Amino acid sequence: MSGADDGEQAMIKIGILGCAGRMGRALLAEVDGSSRALLSGGTVRPGASPLVHTADGRSFADSIDEDAAALFARSDVLIDFTSPKASLDHLALACSHEKPLVLGTTGFTADQQADIDDAARTIPILQAANFSLGISLLSSLVRQAARALGPEFDAEILEMHHRHKVDAPSGTALALGRAVAMGRGVDLDEMSEKLRDGQIGPRVPGRIGFATLRGGDVVGEHQVIFAGMGERLVLSHLASDRQIFARGAVHAALWLATRWQEDQTPGLFDMADVLGL
């Protein structure tokens, strides 16, 4: 067998679930340009055209259709940035085909997240609200700051996204909130404060606050503010190019597929695992 054939066999076949969306198109471009991956295809919504155009002018139609089961069958790993309902359908297919799944969908309910946690006992799932390297490092810094400063410093999380985003707070904001809660050793669900309106009274000590902004074409901006008496610590991340998320997701897919091929161990992973943080 030739060296070229060896190299081709070693490449990871990546399928994109929901490839006609904004992130889906970015993922198509990223996989197509990767030296370590092969595009095994993608899915579109029923009745949608299989012809998908990326921002840089490339067109994709081959192996793009409505058949998610067929895509699972011919892929080594799949990436999903769709909707909670669609992702749960894809999760069932991932389990039945025993294929690794990179999950970037946000907005899951507690019951839906429990289904994801349960599936991770069968297959490897890499779930992240944000796939950028900077956000992964920010989460680590936030956890350290929360642990060092304690509840004496009020924690507020501010996020802004484009006008089309449908969930709030963003999945990344919630992940940063979990980093604060983890640093303090508390439960985010018990300590979060997401709505403020009218005569709400003074701030409750120890609460983790969230503020949401929407408008224009903002890719993603996040700030974690630790406000003390006489000083504030502000940790922030600004994303100006959506391709950073696609790049991180493909990197995660390659890591997850390689890990599965080597030891067949299921589990629920995140970007900290990929980056060794």
Instruction: Answer yes or no: is 104 a known binding residue.
Output: yes
Instruction: Answer yes or no: is 130 a known binding residue.
Output: yes
Instruction: Answer yes or no: is 20 a known binding residue.
Output: yes
| Residues near 132 by beta carbon (within 8 Å), at least 6 away in sequence | 237, 239, 244, 245, 248
Q: Quick one: tokens of 108?
A: 């899951």
- Which of these is catalytic: 53, 85, 97, 165? 165
Instruction: Answer yes or no: is 131 a known binding residue.
Output: yes
Instruction: Answer yes or no: is 95 a known binding residue.
Output: no
Instruction: Answer yes or no: is 60 a known binding residue.
Output: no
Among this protein's residues, is 161 annotated catalytic? yes
Instruction: Answer yes or no: is 128 a known binding residue.
Output: yes
Written in H, E and C, the secondary structure of the chain is CCHHHHHHHHCEEEEEECCCCHHHHHHHHHHHCCCCEEEEEEECCCCCCCCEECCCCCEECCCEECCHHHHHHCCCEEEECCCHHHHHHHHHHHHHHCCCEEECCCCCCHHHHHHHHHHCCCCEEEECCCCCHHHHHHHHHHHHHHHHHCCCCEEEEEEEECCCCCCCCCHHHHHHHHHHHHHHCCCHHHHEECCCCCCCCCCCCCCEEEEEEECCCCCEEEEEEEEECCEEEEEEEEECCCHHHHHHHHHHHHHHHHHHHHHCCCEEECHHHHHCC
- Which of these is catalytic: 99, 161, 237, 251? 161
Instruction: Answer yes or no: is 106 a known binding residue.
Output: yes
Instruction: Answer yes or no: is 172 a known binding residue.
Output: yes
- How far is it, in rounded angstroms, from Cα 57 to Cα 24? 14
Residues making up the annotated binding site for (S)-2,3,4,5-tetrahydrodipicolinate are 162, 171-172
Residues making up the annotated binding site for NAD(+) are 18-23, 104-106, 128-131
Give catalytic residues, as residue numbers. Answer: 161, 165
Residues making up the annotated binding site for NADP(+) are 45
Residues making up the annotated binding site are 18-23, 45, 104-106, 128-131, 162, 171-172
